[in-house]
Every structure is written in structure tokens, then in C-alpha cells.
């Protein structure tokens, strides 16, 4: 391999291309693809080997379709420093035109004897780039004419990254600067025309997406000096781990060592993925208990559900545990809201941040928890009784409505709150009474549940109508989002009247709403009986019934919160608008509940 031809074709006093020097990147071999707008637009495909860049000109560019055989013309070797060249070559120079760094990354030859493969006319390899991934092959076309021996074919081999289309049409910017060919060409001599090297670059490409994925396995091969080749990634769908492909780039030596150390204690014999994973040649797959979460950057998800150009950014949280007071949180990286990238730790952080606020409403009340230990979905379940120990949780003996003895779960302090979160609690539902006055409710809840398709203005009018009706009974009500489809109106009470009185009063209010506006409201629970109307749910106001608490998350997509708001916020805030990711923006709405516990209202 010689750089003599490269030097002969260039005048380095005129072109900013690097002069020929033989260098090496170290143990890992780099590749680069440069889009070159010369006499004709083409892609320059370059593989590092023996201190230079083996180079092919690919007129149509690479294709992820295994049926496409792309002509690749073997040209002179380029110097290693050419990997960072991006700019414009003067038109009167060889190759005059604009050059853009279209892709770059690591390549791994299947056979270590690349020189032999090159002379025999077939090189098989794996690409781990920002755009090009997976198994590829370069095959020299057979010809009797010596001058045509330069013609090779670049072909995508069948693997997880193969596609039915070419897969490259949407990539029109540099992976280094984020510029298009036209933008690079417009840079004149008075502007910053020097190209950025790998060490100087910023990740400014606009087509990259960052998301969290569960690590379900990893691969090793003799080609990687760290012993770690790639991470096999997935997302939890109900009780299954759906496979989303691999990430092989972005894993530094230090990161590989940390990952392999963490993998030691979570190895398993069987695959956690719901799909079969195709094993590549010369690699070993090690399966893992799916609890570590990686931050991954990628360009898109293909039609067959696989990540394109995935690169590892780091672990979501490198700590195996997190601590909240005296409660240790295990598996903090476990995704609970998979579609929203919300982990168990995110939930714990939220409840820890608002512990004082939520304890004001749930402490010393019999509780029902909704636990989602494996993520939201079908596996969430209600827990009313202490059939499993929850750190810090207290119990309170009482008799059920049928006379049977039972024990209610009761949270007294922040330790019990976080203990419940540690055990997978997402939602907190409470009685309308506290344990010291269990038979006398100190609040009532009305849930406005709209029929599907009703406009939000119709629902808001319903909240105002119910508020006015309660005011006619000399009762002040407070408004909160349900985190679902409707609003809740909460009426604080002095614990004087018993459950029968509260139940009857709530029913009367709901029936009055229906009698006054029969075309708008109903107290009929059955959905087929409330078409086009709002169900005024008064049934929360009976002994043993619970309603979702202020500040409780809801186990629904988006992680909405049942959040207290002011009446003046009614026209601005929708029922599912406040979420775990934006709740800090709505702190000021809590002012509307400042006097809630000072109310001494009664039903007499």
C-alpha cells in the first residue's frame, strides 16, 4: 500500500487536503465515508489498514438492501489524516469539488489477514458507524481486462440492519458539522474553513435521537480489544422485552470495563427477548437480566423495528441502588413507563421531592396502592392488604362492611411512602377518612368522567356547574386534575357526619345534576347509558371506597399526575396536562388549596 499516487495527484499549496503520512488509530480500525461532489456526485468509502485508508469510489452510495450490488471503484490509498477532511477542493485541482463527512466509525474485518483478502478480491467486515451498521462485503468483479480489476461491489449482508430500501436517502448532512454540501461549499476563505478533527468536533448532527433502552445481552468477539463488541437492546412491552437491535459504537475502554463489571452479577442462560436474536459469525452472545438501562443515540427506527446507527452514550444511572432517607431503592434503572423513558428512580425522585405535599393528604388514611413492579400495563395490580411486607408501612385493624376483621395499610411518614415506591407503587388511593376518625369522613370527592368524544369545554362547564351546586349547599370545593379524562372536585369536611350521611349527600348532588341538566349529566355508571354526557361519579364517597390522592401519579402513558389546581386554572389546564416531566412548572397552582385543611364545613 503506497501513498505515492495520492501525493502525485495533488498540489498541497493549493488544496487544503492533508499531505500523505502513514499513521494509525491504534487497536481499533476506523472507517469514513465522504460524500464528494466532484465531476459527479459519489461516496468515497475508506477503510483504515496498515496506516492508510483503503479507498473506493461508490457512485450510488452504500445500500442497506441486500439485493443491491453497488459498484465500488478501487482508487489510490489515502492518508490516515484524510478521515477528518471536510471542505472544498479547488476546481483546478484533482477531485475538485466539495467533500462532506457523511459517516464515520469503527470497522472489524472478519479475517485478520486483510492483505490476503484484498489480493483475493473479497473482504468481509462489520461496520459500527453513525449511519452504516452491520455486516458488509466488498467483492472484486472478475474481468479478463487488467484495467477493470479496480471494479468491486459493495454489498450489505443479511443481518438485523438489512432493509428493503437503500436506507440512506434521508442523510444529507455531515455527521461532524451538521452542514449540507451546499453549506460547506458556501464557506469562503474569510470564514472558518478548517475542518474539525474527531477530538474537536461537537455532536451537532440534527438527525440524532436520544432514548433509553434496556440492555438484554451483550456480544464479545476476538476482534475487540476490550472483549465487548456490542450491546443488544430492547424495550419492555407488557411482560415482554422487545428487541430493538444493537449498539456497537461509543463504548470506550473505560465504559466497556464498567459494563462488563456490572454484567457479572446479572448474567442468565436464556434470552430475555421475545424474539430470536441472530448470532453473527465469530461472536458470543451473553444474556442478561434486563435491569440496566443505557442512553442510546440513533438516527431512526427502521420498518422492521431496529435502531439505525445506534451509539452508546452511557448508563442511565451507574448506581445499582439509590437512597431516600432510610429506604434503599433497588433496580433504579428499571423502566416503569417504557414509552416515556421513566425509570423507577425517576418515580422515586418525584415522590421524594413532593413528599411533604402528598403526605398531607395520604398520611394516616387507609390506602390502596397500585403497584407496577414490571412496568405499567397489564401487570399492574391493586393492593389493599399487607400480604407482602412494605418497608415502613403501618397497619390499622378495622372491620369490613361484611363484619370480617381486616387490616388497612397506613402510611405515617416519608419512610413508608418511599418504602411503597421501593416495592413498585405508582399510584396512591386513599379513604375519605383518617384512622382516628375512621367512621366519619373528612372529605368528599366527585369525579367528572366524560363520555368519549366530548369537547374539553363541555367538561369545564360541568366542573363549574357542580361547583355552583355545592356552593348553594354552602360547601366550598377544590379542583384537581384527575390525570385521566376528567376533573375531580374535592370537598373538605369537619369529621362529624358518618358514612351513610356522606354517601346519601353525594348521591343527592349527582342526581340533582342529572335532574337539572339531563342532556348533559348522568349518575348512571354504565357507559352505554351515558352517551354524550358526563358521569358524575359520586360512588367514591362510601365506606371502604378510595379515590386517587392529590399528587399521585397515574399508571398511564405520559405519567400524568392528579394535581391540585386553582379554579382560575380551569380554562388553561387539561385533566392530563400535569405530568412527572413538567410538574415543577405547575407549583404555583397549589396556592388554590392553601386553606383546604382550615375548612370546617359540615353536611348538617
Quote the Cα angle for 532-534-536, to 5°. Answer: 155
Asked if residue 454 and residue 411 are part of one domain, the reply reads: no
Asked if residue 510 and residue 448 are part of one domain, the reply reads: yes
Residue 205, pLDDT score: 40
pLDDT confidence of 32, banded at 50, 70, 90? very high
Chain mean position to CA 280: 27
**Lowest-pLDDT range of 176-180, 435-439, 471-475:** 176-180
Asked if residue 10 and residue 140 are part of one domain, the reply reads: yes
**Lowest-pLDDT range of 66-75, 272-281, 436-445:** 272-281
Residue 51, pLDDT score: 86
Name the DSSP letter for residue 270: S
Mean pLDDT on 272-299:
87
Give the number of other CB atoms < 10 A from CB of residue 370: 20
Last residue of a domain, one of 404, 430, 456: 430
Residue-averaged pLDDT of the chain: 86
Mean pLDDT on 532-555:
95
Mean pLDDT on 326-343:
87
Instruction: Please give the backbone phi and psi of residue 25, each rounded to the nearest 5 degrees, phi first.
Output: -85, -5
Asked if residue 125 and residue 54 are part of one domain, the reply reads: yes
Residue pair 388/423 in contact by the 8 Å Cβ criterion = yes
Using alpha carbons, list the distances in angstroms from residue 534 to 367, 422, 430, 451, 516: 27, 37, 24, 6, 13
Residue 187, pLDDT score: 58
Asked if residue 181 and residue 94 are part of one domain, the reply reads: yes
Asked if residue 496 and residue 451 are part of one domain, the reply reads: yes
- pLDDT(127) > 50: yes
Mean pLDDT on 161-190:
77
Q: Which domain holds residue 357?
A: 344-430
Using alpha carbons, list the distances in angstroms from residue 253 to 24, 220, 226, 250, 383: 18, 14, 6, 10, 46
Residue 461 covered by a domain = yes
- pLDDT(57) > 90: yes
Domain total of the chain:
4
Asked if residue 146 and residue 37 are part of one domain, the reply reads: yes
Residue 191, pLDDT score: 40
**Of residues 316 and 2, more confidently modeled:** 316
Instruction: Please give the backbone phi and psi of residue 84, each rounded to the nearest 5 degrees, phi first.
Output: -105, 5
Residue 103 covered by a domain = yes
Asked if residue 44 and residue 136 are part of one domain, the reply reads: yes
Residue 380, pLDDT score: 86
Last residue of a domain, one of 396, 430, 464: 430
Residue 378, pLDDT score: 61
**Of residues 278 and 354, more confidently modeled:** 354
Asked if residue 502 and residue 384 are part of one domain, the reply reads: no
Residue 130, pLDDT score: 85
The pTM assigned to this predicted structure is 0.54
Instruction: Please give the backbone phi and psi of residue 255, each rounded to the nearest 5 degrees, phi first.
Output: -65, -40
- pLDDT(534) > 60: yes
Burial 52-85 (b: 16+ CB within 10 A, else e): bbbbbbbeebbbbbeebebebebbbbbbbebbbb
Asked if residue 386 and residue 285 are part of one domain, the reply reads: no
Residue 588, pLDDT score: 95
Q: Which of 277, 213, 249, 255 is nearest to 128 (CA)?
A: 249
Residue 8, pLDDT score: 56
Spatial CB neighbours of 558, under 8 Å, sequence gap ≥ 6: 337, 340, 576, 579
Residue 148, pLDDT score: 55
Residue 249 covered by a domain = yes
Residue 197 covered by a domain = no
Residue pair 369/409 in contact by the 8 Å Cβ criterion = yes
Residue 291, pLDDT score: 86
Using alpha carbons, list the distances in angstroms from residue 491 to 238, 429, 466, 523: 37, 16, 11, 18
Using alpha carbons, list the distances in angstroms from residue 546 to 390, 525, 571: 20, 16, 28
Residue 408 covered by a domain = yes
Residue 481 covered by a domain = yes
Residue 37 covered by a domain = yes
Report pLDDT digits (tens) over 566-603: 999 999 999 999 999 999 999 999 999 999 999 999 99
Burial 562-573 (b: 16+ CB within 10 A, else e): bbbbbeebbeeb
CATH assignment at residue 480: 3.90.920.10
Residue 13, pLDDT score: 47
- pLDDT(196) > 90: no
Over pLDDT 90: what percentage of the chain?
A: 54
Name the DSSP letter for residue 279: P
Residue pair 492/596 in contact by the 8 Å Cβ criterion = yes
Residue 4, pLDDT score: 56
- pLDDT(97) > 90: no
Crossing angle of helices 355-362/414-422, nearest 10°? 100
Mean pLDDT on 477-489:
97
**Of residues 316 and 516, more confidently modeled:** 516
Q: Which of 234, 188, 195 is nearest to 211 (CA)?
A: 234
Asked if residue 177 and residue 216 are part of one domain, the reply reads: no
**Lowest-pLDDT range of 30-34, 76-80, 389-393:** 389-393
**Of residues 238 and 96, more confidently modeled:** 96
CATH assignment at residue 216: 2.40.50.140
Task: Indicate the helix (H) or strand (E) that contains 23.
Answer: none
**Lowest-pLDDT range of 7-21, 85-99, 203-217, 433-447:** 7-21
Residue 84 covered by a domain = yes
Residue pair 175/195 in contact by the 8 Å Cβ criterion = no
- pLDDT(5) > 60: no
Report pLDDT digits (tens) over 371-428: 998 888 767 888 887 755 677 789 999 998 888 888 899 999 999 999 999 999 999 9
- pLDDT(15) > 50: yes
Q: Which of 133, 25, 26, 37 is nearest to 80 (CA)?
A: 25
For residue 126 the three cell numbers come to 462489520
Quote the Cα angle for 274-276-277, to 5°. Answer: 115
Residue pair 363/411 in contact by the 8 Å Cβ criterion = yes
- pLDDT(206) > 70: no
Nearest-angstrom CA–CA distance, 42 and 45? 10
- pLDDT(450) > 80: yes
Asked if residue 520 and residue 582 are part of one domain, the reply reads: yes
Amino acid at each position: 500500500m503506497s501513498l505515492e499516487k495520492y501525493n502525485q495527484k495533488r498540489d498541497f499549496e493549493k488544496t487544503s487536503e492533508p499531505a500523505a503520512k502513514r499513521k494509525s488509530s491504534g487497536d481499533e480500525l476506523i472507517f469514513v465515508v465522504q460524500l464528494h461532489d466532484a465531476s459527479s456526485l459519489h461516496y468515497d468509502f475508506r477503510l483504515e489498514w496498515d496506516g492508510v485508508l483503503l479507498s473506493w469510489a461508490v457512485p450510488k452510495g452504500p445500500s442497506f438492501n441486500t439485493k443491491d450490488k453497488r459498484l465500488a471503484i478501487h482508487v489510490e490509498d489515502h492518508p490516515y489524516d484524510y478521515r477528518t477532511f471536510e471542505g472544498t477542493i479547488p476546481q483546478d485541482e484533482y477531485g475538485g469539488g466539495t467533500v462532506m463527512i457523511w459517516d464515520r466509525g469503527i470497522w472489524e474485518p472478519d479475517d485478520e489477514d486483510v492483505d490476503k483478502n484484498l489480493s483475493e478480491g473479497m473482504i468481509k467486515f462489520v461496520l459500527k458507524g453513525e449511519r452504516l451498521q452491520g455486516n458488509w462485503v466488498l467483492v472484486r468483479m472478475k474481468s479478463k481486462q487488467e484495467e477493470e480489476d479496480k471494479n468491486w461491489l459493495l454489498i450489505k449482508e443479511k443481518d438485523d440492519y438489512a432493509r428493503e430500501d437503500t436506507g440512506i436517502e434521508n442523510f444529507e448532512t455531515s455527521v461532524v458539522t451538521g452542514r449540507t454540501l451546499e453549506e460547506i461549499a458556501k464557506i469562503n476563505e474569510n470564514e472558518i474553513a478548517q475542518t474539525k478533527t474527531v477530538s474537536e468536533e461537537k455532536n451537532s448532527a440534527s438527525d440524532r435521537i436520544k432514548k433509553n433502552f434496556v440492555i438484554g445481552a451483550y456480544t464479545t468477539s476476538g476482534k475487540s480489544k476490550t472483549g465487548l463488541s456490542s450491546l443488544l437492546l430492547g424495550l419492555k412491552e407488557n411482560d415482554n422485552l422487545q428487541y430493538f437491535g444493537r449498539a456497537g459504537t461509543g463504548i470506550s475502554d473505560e465504559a466497556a470495563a464498567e459494563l462488563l463489571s456490572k454484567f457479572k452479577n446479572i448474567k442468565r442462560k436464556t434470552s430475555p427477548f421475545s424474539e430470536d436474536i441472530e448470532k453473527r459469525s465469530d461472536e458470543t452472545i451473553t444474556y442478561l437480566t434486563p435491569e440496566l438501562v443505557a442512553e442510546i443515540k440513533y438516527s431512526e427506527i427502521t420498518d422492521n423495528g431496529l435502531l439505525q446507527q445506534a451509539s452508546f452514550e452511557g448508563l442511565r444511572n451507574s448506581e445499582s441502588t439509590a437512597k431516600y432517607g432510610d429506604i434503599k431503592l433497588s433496580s433504579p434503572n428499571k423502566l416503569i413507563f417504557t414509552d416515556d423513558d421513566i425509570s423507577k428512580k425517576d418515580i422515586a425522585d418525584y415522590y421524594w421531592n413532593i413528599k411533604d405535599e402528598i403526605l398531607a393528604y395520604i398520611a394516616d388514611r387507609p390506602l390502596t396502592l397500585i403497584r407496577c413492579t414490571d412496568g405499567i400495563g397489564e401487570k399492574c395490580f391493586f393492593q389493599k392488604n399487607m400480604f407482602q411486607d412494605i418497608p415502613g408501612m403501618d397497619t390499622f385493624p378495622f372491620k369490613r362492611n361484611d363484619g370480617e376483621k381486616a387490616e388497612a395499610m397506613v402510611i405515617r411518614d416519608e419512610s413508608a411512602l418511599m418504602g411503597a415506591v421501593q416495592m413498585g407503587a405508582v399510584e396512591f388511593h386513599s379513604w375519605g377518612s383518617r384512622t382516628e376518625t375512621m367512621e366519619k369522613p373528612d372529605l368528599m370527592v366527585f369525579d367528572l368522567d366524560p363520555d368519549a368524544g366530548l369537547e374539553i369545554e363541555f367538561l369545564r362547564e360541568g366542573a363549574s356547574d357542580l361547583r355552583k351546586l355545592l356552593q348553594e349547599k354552602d360547601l366550598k370545593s377544590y379542583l384537581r386534575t384527575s390525570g385521566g379524562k376528567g376533573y375531580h372536585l374535592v370537598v373538605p369536611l369537619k369529621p362529624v357526619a358518618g358514612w351513610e350521611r356522606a354517601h346519601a349527600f353525594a348521591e343527592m348532588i349527582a342526581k340533582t345534576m342529572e335532574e337539572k341538566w339531563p342532556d348533559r349529566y348522568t349518575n348512571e355508571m354504565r357507559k352505554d347509558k351515558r352517551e354524550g354526557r358526563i358521569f358524575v361519579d359520586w360512588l367514591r364517597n362510601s365506606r371502604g371506597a378510595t379515590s386517587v390522592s392529590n399528587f399521585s401519579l397515574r399508571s398511564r402513558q405520559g405519567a400524568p399526575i392528579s394535581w391540585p389546581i386553582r379554579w382560575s386554572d380551569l380554562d388553561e389546564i387539561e385533566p392530563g396536562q400535569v405530568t412527572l416531566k413538567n410538574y415543577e412548572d405547575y407549583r404555583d397552582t397549589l396556592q388554590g388549596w392553601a386553606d383546604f385543611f382550615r375548612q370546617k364545613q359540615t353536611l348538617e
